Structure 1
Amino acid sequence: GVSGSCTTQTCWLQLPEFREVGTYLKERYHKALKVDLLQGVGNSAASRGAIAETFSSISKKELVHLEDSPDYCLENKTLGLLGTEGRECLKRGKALSKWEKRSCRRLCGDCGLAVEERRAEMVSSCNCK
């Protein structure tokens, strides 16, 4: 017969929801540490030791960066950034998620811009017979 003890154990690994991963990464991004590496630091034992000491104080869960992020609100043709001024945002619609309904505030308000609402009436021929 079947005994009450288990001979095998099954573990199911499952990824968290995408939004949860995004929120976690966004929090880490905003708390990221800027690391300054000295130009011309050689490959001497002393240099390697100083670099290792710097990085050993940083947790493996923390994000680090060498340069500050650009201002995504402003146009920067060199970096291929369009900025947010003049961009369209979604505000109304039955099928819009809560995230999409906040797009105007995020796109404009976070960059110190005001939302300008435009309405247009479009007339088109539908080739009815």
Structure 2
Amino acid sequence: MKLMCKCHGVSGSCTVKICWRRMGEFQKIGEKLYEKFDGATRVKFSGQRHKLKPAVIGHKKPTKRDLVYLEESPDFCQANSKYGIFGTKSRECKKNSYGTEGCAILCCGRGYTTVILEKVQDCNCKFKWCCEVRCDKCKIRVETHYCK
């Protein structure tokens, strides 16, 4: 939260000062959350009540401001009915993307298959006065990629 203030008064004087709290910029909040996530510490309960300690010996003890977790995340690559995870097998992916929708990440190293289809669609459309559109029919080649 960011403190914002505005002054009111004659000729720029600050006779009345009004302040309020405002959310920070969304981008900055996201960056801070990612930092916390990236540095999160796995913990377990110690013998004492409500006390946490690092699950891995030698890791630093988390502070009150650190992000912690008790269990590893499930493997989203493989189907797991217990957690309602369908896995990524047969999921459509984008061959040339480096994001999470890209085949390199989404297919979890299993590779992908490419299906090539020919579709017919309208093309070279022209508007005829009044109220008519005429189009040619063109064959296009569509490549779709699916995780193995």
Please indicate the TM-score interval, normalised by the length of the shorter structure: 0.5 to 0.7
Q: TM-score, normalised by structure 1?
A: 0.58
Q: Cα gap change, 1:67/1:52 in structure 2, threshold over 3 Å: closer, same or farther?
A: closer
What are the superposed Cα offsets for residues 59-100 of structure 1, whole Å, 9 maximum, x if unpaired?
A: 2331111111111111111111111121112458xxxxxxx7
Root-mean-square deviation (Å): 3.5
Moved runs in structure 1, 4+ residues, more than 3 A? 9-12, 19-24, 51-55
Q: TM-score, normalised by structure 2?
A: 0.52
Residue of structure 1 equivalent to 2:85: 81
More strand, by proportion: 2
The 5 Å alignment of 1:87-126 reads 87-90=91-94, 102=99, 103-104=101-102, 105-108=104-107, 111-123=108-120
- Rg (Cα) greater in structure: 2
- Report percent identity of matched pairs: 35
Which amino acid in 1 is paired with 2:24? L
Q: Cα gap change, 1:89/1:69 in structure 2, threshold over 3 Å: closer, same or farther?
A: same
Unaligned runs of 5+ in 2: 1-8, 55-60, 122-148
More helix, by proportion: 1
Residue of structure 1 equivalent to 2:24: 15
